[in-house]
Structure 1
């Protein structure tokens, strides 16, 4: 059944409010978001823009860690602060105004600096799904990154200085059930039809179908019959090459009805079959990436602490080896086609019933594993969703920011290789890292007090960083001069753009849908260029 239209009285007020995003990540994704708790360290202009784009979609709760007092600079760059906020705690003032955007979101403000929390209350961060940090010093960054890495809690480290901005995602391990690929492969099983489908397909005889029904034959049937006819002269092989698939198209062309002059009569269902040859005739197989997942040590060596993802992977492996006979569970999704309602509903029912049966088998296996491990139960709805997307499961393994800051040989070589290219965005990474180093050494941003006087000091930081990775200094000082001109200021338009991007990544992580940026994203607001790097 189609979902109610946005203005339908059947739709709740909540669904009306979140209609567009529900189309992206569904009810279950929205539920995951509403159960999420995100921590922001420092409510700078960038940090606040991030939270704005997380509060509006309805995250469950946010916590702002910020001991800073609102200054004139904050009011000038942060649209979520008022003149009356000056002299008050920046975190609590930002929180007050952010929560006006969505009454369903819970909010908390903590007035201690992050380094003090790390020292006195390290368990504080355990309750968050994602931690987002801005405006931190080098040592605090490394201590926080290492702590969250050990807890397996994702960290997004963000920077916005002048026209430059970046974010770095640190995830020890992140599993994704729904990657939402742009070109999702349809799963029809025409090469190995399940019994009910095989009986339905074999019952058709295209040559004897009534003329009035000829234009209503589902293209799945047309394709299946064309392959069967082709196989009679090709040792029952499955068509794989382009040449063989073109031969299938020729067979379909022969199925076309002809007029009295022998000219083929165009019918949409037969044209659909021609268009589907390349996409629908993919043989059923176990993708290598899924095979690697279900046979990985995490899926085989389960413990009470194993995540539901790995427990379901283990059950999936048992299914593939037994009932599935080397195949993944059926998706149960039927594409649109030109046919009669009776044919379409019958086909749809077959695919859904088979998919439900196979998902039920895997659910029983999951229950057995849960009982053996004495761990938290996994719902049938979660298992069905996992089975439906079993073809596109994804595992992301990230790297530690603390290791990146130590500039080991592999990371140094990676940076040096990119710096050899002209006008590469890696230059901005070096500048942002050097500005952090400057901040740690001088307790202020480069150019904050005296732009001209800080050029030499910032250049020293750049040279030191480049020498650590065995690179020669920049041939021109333009970038260094520009960074000092920024004076550590945040430009709201740059922070707003980055804030939206980072919020998207945080939502991907919380909902476990879509693939987040893998590692580092750099933005140059002056040229509007972007780049991603994987350290």
Structure 2
């Protein structure tokens, strides 16, 4: 039956979001469109972040900002204009941001975040993600602790002069679609399942005529070469470089030669030779996946267990029974030179086995859901889970409030990275010391008197280094202190624009639960164009 034509609205939507759909698919877009992101403070950095979230079509945004627009705001924020001066900054920025995408819903709250925390803390539970900019150390700590307690992801962002940073706080973040740069093929040539084994054994390369010889898939060629090699190697699997070279020689023996004994060049055989390095990986259960399947969260399920852990439990049941120690077949076949008949037949063999494996896992998921009286999990989600089961990732984050308390492990980590040649960690210390300065003096260092604040900021830096028990003298420390005072807390739009794009990428990763996010701190030095990531 032919599928019904798409509606004009859907076609227009696909056209608008075409490039991003290639990155995270229809299901990723659907997740983004149900997301609701809260931004605290519509600074230049804040609006740049929302710009890159509104354009791809997030469901809704809420801006919390009780500040009025100043001349400084207009100079650093492209989403404010001269007529905005004296009006609420959040409402004005929201008005211009929503012009970028009519499908996005927007709200503005003209209350300080600490007041919301005191009077209505449950309000933050409705968000997929909370992002803050230009927030004081005290409020950041309180908000971070609350968001940690209610398990809402949080990104703290800062942009001061040429420096910018963001810190991601997540308690637990499971990623099914990690989109690895080099995805491992899953061909099962070492333990072919019955349908694949029947197909591979049915082809006799030596009996093929010249036309068909150049159109059989390289998987068949590789399999036949391995089988021939194993006859003289006690049925072992080729693993070493020497053994893989012997497989290449076996492939060469299958290549046809002309009447003069010169090998005839055939692309499928050349592909088979190239595939030796990438496709001779034996089928096994990766250690990292085994750790997930047998972790406490997967073996001791409750009604509150997430869909991820329920699927992990079901997958463990498959591995222990039907899978015989192996994960479900991916069902994805790489491109190759082959006749349409051969390729389609081979593709259907892998897809059919993958569907059968997925069906087994889905039935196990349904049984667990029924036992726990938990929310249902769709067949599509199970299929996606099985397809990417080889590359599952679970990130366990840390609390920003704990980081600010500078416990022994955090202090040791910071001190250790101060020994690195480029000392990007020093920029982190400058930003933290500036927050300490603002807490004590209610203004940014250098905002009133750059030269006079140098000594005060140096005191904050010294205090911070003392708290992490770091007694060595840091090269260029004084230069960095003077630079921070010269910035005077100013926000440069070029820095905020770059950092805003980076934060938006991370926000989309968290909302769609695709791609691996930064874990967990990112620092950008616009003066040197250096970047660094740290796990605090």
Please give the TM-score of this superposition, normalised by the length of structure 1: 0.97
> How far 1:241 sits from its partner (Å)?
1.1
Distance across 2 between alignment mates of 1:228 and 1:417: 52
Distance across 1 between alignment mates of 2:351 and 2:470: 59
1:489 aligns to 2:486 (yes or no):
no
Q: Trace 1:29-428 onto structure 2 (pairs within 5 A).
A: 29-428=28-427
Distance across 2 between alignment mates of 1:47 and 1:9: 34
SS of the aligned residue for 1:12 comes to helix
Tell me whether 438-447 or 468-477 shows the greater mean CA deviation: 468-477
SS of the aligned residue for 2:131 comes to strand
Distance across 1 between alignment mates of 2:9 and 2:446: 58
Cα deviation code 1:395-435 (max 9, x no counterpart): 00111111111111111111111213344101100000011
1:519 aligns to 2:526 (yes or no):
no
> How far 1:248 sits from its partner (Å)?
0.5
| Aligned CA distance change for structure 1 residues 353 and 423 (closer, same or farther; 3 Å) | closer
Distance across 1 between alignment mates of 2:525 and 2:379: 46
- The equivalent residue for 1:5 is none
Cα deviation code 1:27-67 (max 9, x no counterpart): 11000000111111111100110000000000001111111
SS of the aligned residue for 1:58 comes to coil
Distance across 2 between alignment mates of 1:81 and 1:474: 41
Distance across 1 between alignment mates of 2:133 and 2:443: 15
Distance across 1 between alignment mates of 2:491 and 2:9: 45
Distance across 1 between alignment mates of 2:32 and 2:296: 29
SS of the aligned residue for 1:338 comes to coil
Distance across 2 between alignment mates of 1:414 and 1:100: 44
- The equivalent residue for 1:3 is none
| Aligned CA distance change for structure 1 residues 34 and 218 (closer, same or farther; 3 Å) | same
Distance across 2 between alignment mates of 1:329 and 1:471: 51
| Aligned CA distance change for structure 1 residues 431 and 324 (closer, same or farther; 3 Å) | same
Tell me whether 411-420 or 27-36 shows the greater mean CA deviation: 411-420
Please give the TM-score of this superposition, normalised by the length of structure 2: 0.97
> How far 1:263 sits from its partner (Å)?
1.1
- The equivalent residue for 2:23 is 24
> How far 1:126 sits from its partner (Å)?
0.6
- The equivalent residue for 1:4 is none
Distance across 2 between alignment mates of 1:9 and 1:105: 19
Cα deviation code 1:460-491 (max 9, x no counterpart): 11111111112235444111111011010100
> How far 1:175 sits from its partner (Å)?
0.3
Distance across 2 between alignment mates of 1:210 and 1:479: 74
Moved over 3 A (4+): 8-11, 472-476
SS of the aligned residue for 2:265 comes to coil
SS of the aligned residue for 1:107 comes to strand
Distance across 2 between alignment mates of 1:410 and 1:219: 52
SS of the aligned residue for 1:33 comes to helix
- The equivalent residue for 1:498 is 499
SS of the aligned residue for 1:152 comes to coil
Runs of 5+ unmatched residues, structure 1: 1-7
Q: RMSD between aligned alpha carbons?
A: 1.2
- The equivalent residue for 2:3 is none
> How far 1:10 sits from its partner (Å)?
11
Distance across 2 between alignment mates of 1:212 and 1:180: 38
Distance across 1 between alignment mates of 2:371 and 2:241: 49
Tell me whether 49-58 or 11-20 shows the greater mean CA deviation: 11-20
| Aligned CA distance change for structure 1 residues 331 and 501 (closer, same or farther; 3 Å) | same
Cα deviation code 1:262-315 (max 9, x no counterpart): 111110000000000111111100000000001001111111111110010010
SS of the aligned residue for 1:81 comes to coil
Runs of 5+ unmatched residues, structure 2: 1-6
Distance across 1 between alignment mates of 2:176 and 2:280: 25
1:534 aligns to 2:515 (yes or no):
no
